[in-house]
Structure 1
């Protein structure tokens, strides 16, 4: 069961990821129906003995097999365009987080607060605690409040990176000299792991991302402690 669970998408932690999960299932169902239909027709074609030596054209069936795929594509395209629009919409963010990709670590700035910035490095295996996650845990996690609209600004200091957290439905390129932005909302507390998804050099696979979703009052306490220190 563990192997099969790893083949699917992660459990969603944001409304946008829920929509992406639904769209995945919707498209998979359509593809399954097409595969079954085409497989059945090919099987029947191999085993039947029907012949028609005088068949030169069939305009009716040609019209049908042109229109039907167009209708099926519409059932895929319309939900896809809707989700693309939702992913690009910035809805009055409560907090702005800026992240900069380096070779090979991330640095973060809480733009709404003074002097709150830090670097986030992967914890080496020999320094991990017993409850740590190998190749995924970092020394400084991103702490963000749940049920709040978060805007993230992404850039890079050297080469192309990609800030990706699958459970939140986020994958955004970090490009030197360019500031990209996206938004997300976490609807449950927890730890959400991601990694750089752009091949950025020798240690590309050793710059993980850890987002910790906490209730708003815990976030206020944390940000107050960070401001005073």
Structure 2
């Protein structure tokens, strides 16, 4: 049952931003289901699925204008705080520069003066096909990380669906987004902008570890 639910829903929340989006999605879906059931019951009780009356009805016209407006206001009330929370740049423990190239990613841990390229690995024994990379982005658990994104050639898009992260990487322009990963493990994404012939071979691999493991890893460089 749990497996079926996961197939019909979003991937597990791997960031606070994705958690907020999933909660909003659940609330809106419940509203839509309740409205559908209510309208269906009203149709079946009133006219047995037949439109018996075509006369003008001022009260009904007022209701079907006012009621949807109230629903839209409620949806706005629920979604605007999520929008602002997802775009808020809070206190970041570190900054990372992401550069898009044809056709690989370059990552620069600006606070530690460490950078590396990330290329797709060919499928071997236990590698995931087309999404495995030779170098992973290592992030500390439950710590805000500021991503500074730009490109050296064409427009790319650094996308991590399970973290609710999608940001265009544009030459000559800098975009900034923050991520706070809340689950230990490995996440996969890819470039979601048509950037050339090898567009589908720019995977992204993010590994979330504890702060102690992150410190031990960064000390090696």
Global fold match (TM > 0.5) = yes
Give the Å deviation of 1:50.
Answer: 7.5
Judge conservation of contact 1:87–1:182 (CA < 8 Å) in 2: no
The verdict on how the C-alpha distance between 1:51 and 1:6 changes in structure 2, with shifts beyond 3 A counting, is closer
Q: Could you say which residue in structure 1 is the equivalent of 2:30?
A: 29
Judge conservation of contact 2:99–2:152 (CA < 8 Å) in 1: yes
In structure 1, distance between residues paired with 2:204 and 2:51: 61
Mapping of residues 1-229 of structure 1, within 5 Å: 5-41=6-42, 47=48, 51=52, 55=55, 57-114=56-113, 116-125=114-123, 128-130=124-126, 132-226=127-221
Q: Describe the SS at the equivalent of 2:66.
A: helix
In structure 2, distance between residues paired with 1:183 and 1:49: 54
* TM-score, normalisation: structure 1: 0.88
The verdict on how the C-alpha distance between 1:49 and 1:25 changes in structure 2, with shifts beyond 3 A counting, is closer
Give the gaps of 5 or more residues in structure 1: none
Give the gaps of 5 or more residues in structure 2: none
Q: Does 157-166 or 136-145 show the bigger shift?
A: 157-166
The verdict on how the C-alpha distance between 1:12 and 1:48 changes in structure 2, with shifts beyond 3 A counting, is closer
Count how many residue pairs are aligned between Structure 1 and Structure 2: 220
In structure 1, distance between residues paired with 2:98 and 2:189: 14
* TM-score, normalisation: structure 2: 0.91
